[in-house]
Every structure is written in C-alpha cells, then in structure tokens.
Structure 1
Amino acid sequence: MSMNAIWNATAGLKATQAAINVVSQNVANSGTAGYVRRTISTVSTEGNSGVTVGAVTRSFDAAALKQLRSETAGAAYTATRADITSQLDKLYGTPGSATALDGTFNTFTRSLQELTANPTSAAARSTVLSNASALASQINAAASNVQSLRNGIEGQLATDTATASSLLSNIATLNAKIQNTTDDSSKADLQDQRDQAINSLSSYMDLSTVDQRDGTVTVLTGSGVTLVDRGNAATLSFDGHGTLNASSRYSPDSSQRTVGTITATTPGGAKIDLGAPGVMRSGSLAAQFELRDTTLPQAQRQLDDLAAGMATALTNKTVTSTTNPAQIDIGGMKPGNTLTIPVTFSDGSVRNVVLVAGTGASKPVDPSVTSDSTSFAQTFDVTRVPGDTENAIKDALSAMRTQATAAGYKNVPNITATATGSVVTLASNTGTTVGGAGASITQPNSANDFANGYPQMPLFTDGTSKLYTGSVDTSAQITGFAQRIAVNGNLANNSSYLTASGANDLTASGGRAQSLFTSLTSTQQTFSSASGIGGITAPYTASVAQFTQDIISAQGSAASAAATLDNTQQVSLSTAQSRFSQSAGVNIDSEMANLIALQTAYGANARVLTAARDMLNQLLQI
C-alpha cells in the first residue's frame, strides 16, 4: 500500500473531525439568538496528497441581512408613530360622544340655544357659563397633554441616545477584536455579536454598512454620516432642554433652538447634528423627532386655532373693502387684528399680504402665526390710526417689500396706500394687482367691556381677565392659547350680560345669545393653514363648530393611517426575519444529514488506516 494512502487518510480524518466539530457547534447553538450557521471548507494539499482544513465561515445571505436591518428601522419608526398618534387621538374622545371634544362643544352651543328661548332664566345663564368653562377646561387639558407627550418624547430621546451611543462603542470594540483575532471560530463568534449590535442599532436609526477587507465594517447613517470606522466610533449626546411648552421649537441655530437634539462627535472632534431634518430617515429616533417637532406642534396649533376661533368669533367683526378702488375702514383695530390684502402677480400667481396691527415700528411677522402661513406678514403701528393711518400703512408696506426682496422672492407685492382718517385706499402698482381687502377687528376694548360693539362680547379670554386679540407685540398670543383659554371672570358676577338687549340695555332678551350661537355654529372664519386642516398651502374657512369636528376627524384619520402602516410594516419585518433565518439559521435535519455523511467519511478514512496498520504488522512478522 502506498504511503500516500496513509497520508491522505490521516488528513481526511483531521478534516472530517474538524467538520464534525463545526456541525456539533451548529446543532448546540440552534436556539441561540444571533447565532449564524458555520461552514468549513477543505483544500487540497500540495501535490494532491490529501486535504487540509480551510477557514470556518458564517453562512448567510448578505442581501437578506441588509433587508432585515432596513425593515427593523422601518418597523421601529411606524410603531413609534402609531403609539403616539393613538394616544393623541384619545385626547379628543370618541367622536359624537357627550364627553368628546365635539360633544362638549355641542353641549355648550345647545345651552346658548336654550338661553335664547329662556333669556330671563338665571339657571340657563349659569348653565351656559358652566358649559363654557367645561369646554375651555377640556381644551386646556388636551393642549397640556400634547405638551406632556412632547416632554415624554424629549425624555425618551435622551435615553435612546445613550443606548445608541453605547451600541456604537460596542461595535467599534468588536471591530478591533475581529481585526486582531486569527482563530476563525472565535472571529465568527465576534462577528455574530457585532451583527447583533448593528441589528439592535438599526431599530433606532436607518443604517448602511460597508465590509472591509480586514473583517471590520464601517457603519453609516442612511444619509451618509459615518458613525463607526473600524475601531473608532462617534459618540452621541443629547442636550435636553427640560420641560417643553407650546413655543419650544427646533432650529439649526443652536442659539434659537429650544428643544434637544442629538450631536454625533467624531473621533476627530467634528460635530454633526443628527436631529436636523433629513439626517435620520427611519428608526425610532427619526419618528420621535418628527413627532416632537412636527406632528405634536401641529396638534397644538389646531387646539390654539380652535381656542382663538372661539374667542374671536364672539368678539370680532369682519370688514371688507370696496373694489376699484379697494377702500376699507380699519378704525378700532387693536394689536393682533389683521388687514389681509390678496394680490395677483403678473405671472398669475396669488399671495396674501397680511398687515398685523401692533405698537411701535413695523417689523416682520412669522407668517405661521397668522391665518395664512404662506403670506407676506408685517406689523403696522396701529397707535397711529386714525391720525396718521396713511404713513403707518405705507411704512409697513415698504418694510414688507424690503424684507421680501432681501429674502429673494421672485414676486414682491407692490402696493400703494393713501388714507383719510381710518379709511385706507389700496392701489395696484407695477407687477401687482390688488383684488380687495378684509380686516378682522376686535370690538370690545377690554375683558370687562360688554357694551362696545354689541352683540360681540368677550366670553372667552386669555386667562380669566385678558382680552384675546392675537397680539404679536412681544410674542404671538395665539401660541399656547389653548392652555390658557378660560371663561371671562367678569361674567361670574354678572351673567346678565349674556342676555343684554343692547349695548347699554341689560333688559333680558334672547338676541345676544342667538348671535353668539350663530357666530360659533354658522359664521365662517378663516383658520391658519399651519394647523394642517384642509391642507397646508392655504387658509381654511369653516365655522368653529365645523373646525372642532375637523380636528377630531383629522386626528382619528391620522391615527388610523399610522396603525395601518405599522401593521403592514410589521408584516414586512416578519418576512425579512424569516428570510434571513432561512439563510443563516441552523436546520437540525440538514445538520444531522451532514453529520451522518461526515461519520461515513470518518469511518472510511479510519478503515484505510486500519488496513495500513494490519499490513505493516504482517510485514514486521516476516
């Protein structure tokens, strides 16, 4: 017998024993989370005199792993959104029920109807005030809960940031160990641990990975920010801003930002704002930023608009201009009242110019606090009306043009204004056509003024004693108004104002109550496009009653859509998990079949050696 046969059999025994060990390891770890099935390769030795053991490698589908991480991020994103939107929807109650927001509103307006029919009843007046207070309190509570949800997210962002940063550090540490490990089996174990860490990280943010030749991986966000490069990892930190309120907002300017953000600090010291829009596109962190900075502030704005609509429906009158020329009387305007001028440009596009009454020099106004968030908005000094109305409006229009030009707008309104007393005449100029104008003017002069401008009255106030006008002098009065709206405290001592027959006549009649009812249920008002009701590109016109129902409907639809999307995404995740498991998991039946084949091969090699031993023994006995 050739010595090659002995060498081949010996090499075969060693290779088969190594393969049996790998199969045994696979079977033993079949239930271990994150374990990827191992395979071992064999290679021919020089001169084809046998085989030797090759590398132990992990067997999985790289495309399936990539899909799993993508679906994990997507599922975390949709689950986070579905959870918060469901909680938000519950704040308004079941639509149509007596305790829902629209039910409480309807109870209040019905009591106004009943007071109309029975104006001399002290009990009916008391019921109106009680129901109005219940409505205001429900709006207060809903708005406070919206901010509570934002605060909860702020706290969760801090916790999740710390966890994600720890995972990045762990991935970098495992990269370094893999780079310095020569034992294939130990390296495979480390790679399993690293992939598990990356999979866990993918639930927080969308990721991509790049395999390096030395066995390490580079981890990047979906937008391309490098988080781990071999043994180096960025550190993540969250600068929480404590308790948030309705005015807390994200800004890329850290001096203007009043909410927390995640900062990634690279090993080289560079700092990257991961909370900026578009940096993270999926995962729970992206969902939390979107909810905190967009979804919940929009819900707050809806409630603020509702509160403002309730207050101004009962205090303001609408004045419209004549046409050709556009003339309008703005007498009686108070800080916060608005003069809206629709303009048409030479290319056919239409945009509103909103002049907001204020005190002092003209200044730009964030259009999101007006009824039209796409408008050109500027204050004018209302204290100069009617004595110097013309110059007050001219100064505002001039400042607005300067602001629009500096901002790079293609179309800049070009309007001229003249005035006689408080009557303003608006005219077109080159490139601009004025179609008319409208103003909203608060009639009462203060929270305890129930006579001026009858039948308007300040039933709802900012707190219990401050007239709501929408002022923007120091800050936007509308911001957070839903948390402050209350029934006018001056009515508690004299509810007869609800049924006054005239400006100076407290004789009971149903006229004022009927007017209040009509103002809330039938009169059309303009609500801001910033609320998202009816679209985000133009103001929305509806009665306060309709707007209340629209809010509940919008939140219900959003919650339903989020739940449906989450259900779909969870199915996608389950499919991705199954696909990866099929490629990387241990199949006991398959492994046992491999084991039987290896045992047969082991026996064959062993018989060769046994035969060689017997032959040598015979030779030695000769």
Structure 2
Amino acid sequence: MSMSIAVNKALLGLARNAQATSVVSSNLSNASEPGYARRVIVGDQILRVVDPALLSDRRLSDAEMAAAQTMQDYAQRLDALAGSAEDPGSLQNLMSIFDSALLSAAADPASEQRLNAVAVAGSDLAQAIGSASGEIQAARADADTAIAKDLAQLNALLEEAASLNQALARAQPGTASTASLFDQRQKVIDAVAEIVPIRTAPRDQNGIALYTTNGAILLDGQPATVGFTPTPVIAAQMTEANGLLGGLTINGRAVSSGPKGPLSGGRLGAAFEARDVMLPEAQARLDGIAYDLIERFGAGGPDATIAPGQIGLFSELGAPPGPPPVPGLSERLIWNPAVAPGSTDLWKLRDGLGATAPGEVGDAALLNALSDSLNALRAPTDPALGGSVRSARGQFAAFGASIEATRILSEDALTRFSARNTALREIEFSQGVDSDVELQRLLEIEQNYAANAQVLRSVDEMLNQLLSI
C-alpha cells in the first residue's frame, strides 16, 4: 500500500469517526427527548430507526387515552357535584335534612322554630339543586372552551406539519439536519394524535399525509382547516341540534361532531361527548328531580288549599312549570317565598299555603301528609327519570348512583387504555436509545480513531526519515 493511499484511508476513517461520534453524542443527549428517534450510520448517511407499525399503534393509543382522561375529568366533576348522602351539603344530604325537618315539625306543629327549620331546609335544597344545574352548564361551557382550544392547536399543528413536509422535500437526504426535521414532524404528528386519532400515508419527497381513522383528510399537500364557533355561556336548552351551540366544519363543510363523526375518537371527540351527551343527560335527570318535587307539593298534592294553577312549596321561578321535559328547570327551582325562612307566615306550612288565617296550632295533619308525599313511591312524569317507581329520596339516590356509575366506567376505561399505552411506550422505548450500547460504541470509535491516528503518525515518521536522507 502506498503512503498516499494509507493517508487517504486514515483521513476517511477519521472523518467517519467524527460523524459517528456526533451521532452517538446526539443519541445520548436526546435519549429521553419525546419524538427523538435513534440514529445509525448506513454507508455515509445518517438514518433514523423507527418502527412505523408500532408508532401508528402508539398514536392510536394516545388518542384513546386522551379521550378516556377527558371523560374521566368530567365524570369526576359530576361525581363531586352529586356527592353522597354522608357528604354535608350534598343533594342527598340536604334531601334527608328536609325530610327530617318535616318529621320534626309534625311532632310539634306549634313550634315556630321547627316550621322555620322546614323553610330553611326546603330553601337550601332548592338552592343546591339550582347550583348543581349551574355547575353542569359551567362544565359544558368548559368543554366548549376546550373544543375551541384543541381546534386552534390542531389547525396550527397541521400548518406546521405541512411546512415541515416542504422543508423535508428540500433537505439533503441522510444528514443530521434532515433527521432533526423528521423528529420535529414526528412530535407534531404525535400532538395531533392526542386530539384526533390518525393514520399516516407516505408521499413523494419525504412527505406525509394525515387522515383520521374515520376518513377525514387532515393533510395531503395542503392542510385542512377545521372550523368551530365557541359559545362562552351555555344554558340547558342550548344544543348543537337546535343551532345554539357550535358544530364542526372541515374546509367550510359541516361535519358530524358525534361519536361516529370524522373527528371523533380522541380528546376532541370526548369534549364533544361531554358537552352534548354526558352533561346534558345529568342535567335532564336533575330537571326531572326538580319536576318531581314540584309535583309532590303542588296543586293536587297533600295541600288541598292550593288551587289549580297556583304554586306549591316548590316552583319554577314562582310559576308552575309546563309539561316535561323542561330544560334547565332545576336551575330555576325556588322555594315558595310565601313561606321563606324567617317569614311571618310560616304557619301556612302547617295550615296550607292557600289558608287565609292560622288554624289549630297542634294540627300536624298537613305536615305529616307533606312528609308522606315526599316518601311516597310514584312513577315520575318526566321521562328523563325512567319509569321506575321511587320516593323523592329514591330519585336523589338514583341520580347519585347513576353519576357514580358513570365515574366508575370512566375510571375503568382510563385504566385499561393507560395500561395499553404504557406497554406500547415501553416497547417503543426499548427500541430507542440504549445508553450502554451507545457508550460501548463510543469506546469502539475511540479505538478506531487511535488506529487511524497511528497510521498518520507512522506515515509522518516515514516522510521525516526520507527527508532527512
């Protein structure tokens, strides 16, 4: 071998050592960086090591987990709102207090203090039901805001992915900078996958197309624009179906936001499900409970002094409600101001709301009848409560049980999807950067560097000897 060939090979070896050192250094420093793919050198090119099938499965799992997390968040809000019979201030607890107050007043109907306790308990119950309704609508508004935020992020991510496609089309293949562009695009697509479940398809010049699993084209050359009009304040009667809440558009064309819609399945779809299904169902049941209370103590009930068309102990802002369902009735439920706490007419709780003068102070018949009506088993008028025959307390307990069941189901789903996601990420991580392997590779590079450097030193010594002759 001539000295020139030896020098050229040594210099080439040093250049490759420098490239290999750079790759190993990059792998070690970015081992825990999301979206970073391990680099290897093949020939003179730097390539990323990625399992496309695993990456696709993990992204679909990301969407499932994000959806499950969103549903659990709203289910927990409902569960905290409903509470249990043992929780002070919960709906079931206040219902029990109201029932106990009626029994206590019936035991001593002459006691102004006990009659006032009935008024306080009834007023507190009505206010708590109204507050719960308001919390449900606030949660719907939060879901609407989350939808708007996710869609703003989605549109920005699609623009960024399109820009990275263009940058990769111009990039020189097999370089470190090109690998970094691929990493950036992977991170962008990973973020998209949490919002909506996606599939990818390769395109010419390192491009990529994005489709939702339900068939919507998000990116294929040009990015799609997903539209939505947020609604800052939401009331119970407002739905997408009646045009009072915003729906989805893709490039200006209206699409379904339901569970089978083109953008369903991820965090975005879960927010729509919370806004349009889970929370409205809870609202409808609460409205049914309010309607049941109004009926139990209204005209035709135990108080014969209430004329048809007049209000009983509970009403819709001072008037009888129309036929059910009455969206938002629970938020408008009030205790009859004629027997408000501290009123001088509390005797009407004992003698009848329509009575014109106090009766016998020891007459507990009406108070006992009111308690009996509260505990009477009856089929609800509002279809949202189903057809089961229950007492008023039973309706509150059933409401709490349904909310708890929703929470448990959401927790089970999150646990299941989280376990799958964790398993996929562990497999993905195992195929990523192994620090021990990279350090071993660094030792090999050091040895190769020393060998190439030794060749150059030997050639230098031979040249010096020749020149000294």
**TM-score normalised per structure 1:** 0.67
1:512 is matched with which residue? 366
Among 248, 254, 257, the residue aligned to 1:275? 257
Offset, 1:292? 0.7
1:200 is matched with which residue? 191
Rate the CA distance shift 1:621–1:482 in 2: closer, same or farther, 3 A: same
Whole-angstrom distance in 2 between the partners of 1:501 and 1:262: 53
Segment of structure 1 superposing worse, 566-575 or 296-305: 566-575
Rate the CA distance shift 1:205–1:122 in 2: closer, same or farther, 3 A: same
1:259 is matched with which residue? 245
Rate the CA distance shift 1:316–1:179 in 2: closer, same or farther, 3 A: farther
Identical residues among aligned pairs (%): 25
Offset, 1:612? 6.9
Offset, 1:293? 0.6
Rate the CA distance shift 1:4–1:276 in 2: closer, same or farther, 3 A: farther
- Unaligned residue ranges in structure 1 (runs of 5+): 43-52, 319-442, 449-457, 532-537
What is the Cα-based RMSD across aligned positions, in Å? 3.2
1:151 is matched with which residue? 141
Offset, 1:483? 0.7
Offset, 1:606? 5.5
Tell me the amino acid that sits aligned with residue 373 of structure 2. Answer: S
Offset, 1:610? 6.5
Among 400, 403, 411, the residue aligned to 1:563? 411
2:103–2:368 CA contact under 8 A, matched in 1: yes
CA deviations 1:88-126 (Å, max 9, x no partner) are 211233432342211111111122222333333333333
Whole-angstrom distance in 2 between the partners of 1:581 and 1:516: 66
Among 467, 473, 479, the residue aligned to 2:320? 467
1:308–1:481 CA contact under 8 A, matched in 2: yes
Q: Residues 406-421 of structure 1: matches in 2 within 5 Å?
A: none
Offset, 1:593? 1.5
1:25 is matched with which residue? 26
1:447–1:461 CA contact under 8 A, matched in 2: no
2:282 is matched with which residue? 299
Among 310, 330, 333, the residue aligned to 2:293? 310
Greater relative CO, 1 or 2 (CA 8 Å, sep 6+): 2
Whole-angstrom distance in 2 between the partners of 1:98 and 1:523: 25
Offset, 1:22? 2.2
Tell me the amino acid that sits aligned with residue 565 of structure 1. Answer: A
1:499 is matched with which residue? 350
1:36–1:60 CA contact under 8 A, matched in 2: yes
Offset, 1:308? 0.4
Q: Residues 92-107 of structure 1: matches in 2 within 5 Å?
A: 92-107=82-97
2:164–2:181 CA contact under 8 A, matched in 1: yes
2:177 is matched with which residue? 186
Whole-angstrom distance in 1 between the partners of 2:157 and 2:441: 37
Whole-angstrom distance in 1 between the partners of 2:29 and 2:345: 83
Offset, 1:190? 0.5
Whole-angstrom distance in 1 between the partners of 2:350 and 2:466: 129
Rate the CA distance shift 1:33–1:547 in 2: closer, same or farther, 3 A: same
2:393 is matched with which residue? 545
Instruction: Determine helix, strand or coil for the equivalent of 2:195.
Output: coil
Whole-angstrom distance in 2 between the partners of 1:9 and 1:592: 23
- Unaligned residue ranges in structure 2 (runs of 5+): none
Instruction: Determine helix, strand or coil for the equivalent of 2:36.
Output: coil
Instruction: Determine helix, strand or coil for the equivalent of 1:132.
Output: helix
Offset, 1:559? 2.2
1:39 is matched with which residue? 40
CA deviations 1:423-461 (Å, max 9, x no partner) are xxxxxxxxxxxxxxxxxxxx841226xxxxxxxxx2211
1:583 is matched with which residue? 431
Q: Residues 299-378 of structure 1: matches in 2 within 5 Å?
A: 299-315=282-298
2:293–2:392 CA contact under 8 A, matched in 1: yes
Tell me the amino acid that sits aligned with residue 263 of structure 1. Answer: T
Rate the CA distance shift 1:602–1:97 in 2: closer, same or farther, 3 A: closer
Tell me the amino acid that sits aligned with residue 56 of structure 1. Answer: I
Among 207, 222, 226, the residue aligned to 1:236? 226
Instruction: Determine helix, strand or coil for the equivalent of 1:552.
Output: helix
CA deviations 1:209-263 (Å, max 9, x no partner) are 1222421111111211111114x11123320133110101122xxxx32112332
Whole-angstrom distance in 1 between the partners of 2:171 and 2:354: 90
Offset, 1:11? 5.0
Q: Which has the higher helix share?
A: 2
Offset, 1:572? 3.3
Rate the CA distance shift 1:613–1:128 in 2: closer, same or farther, 3 A: closer
Does residue 139 (structure 1) correspond to residue 129 (structure 2)? The answer is yes
Whole-angstrom distance in 2 between the partners of 1:601 and 1:126: 93
Q: Which has the higher strand share?
A: 1
Instruction: Determine helix, strand or coil for the equivalent of 1:243.
Output: coil
Offset, 1:17? 4.1
**TM-score normalised per structure 2:** 0.87
2:268 is matched with which residue? 285
Whole-angstrom distance in 2 between the partners of 1:503 and 1:3: 118
Rate the CA distance shift 1:611–1:263 in 2: closer, same or farther, 3 A: same
Tell me the amino acid that sits aligned with residue 216 of structure 1. Answer: G
Rate the CA distance shift 1:583–1:274 in 2: closer, same or farther, 3 A: farther
Segment of structure 1 superposing worse, 91-100 or 55-64: 91-100
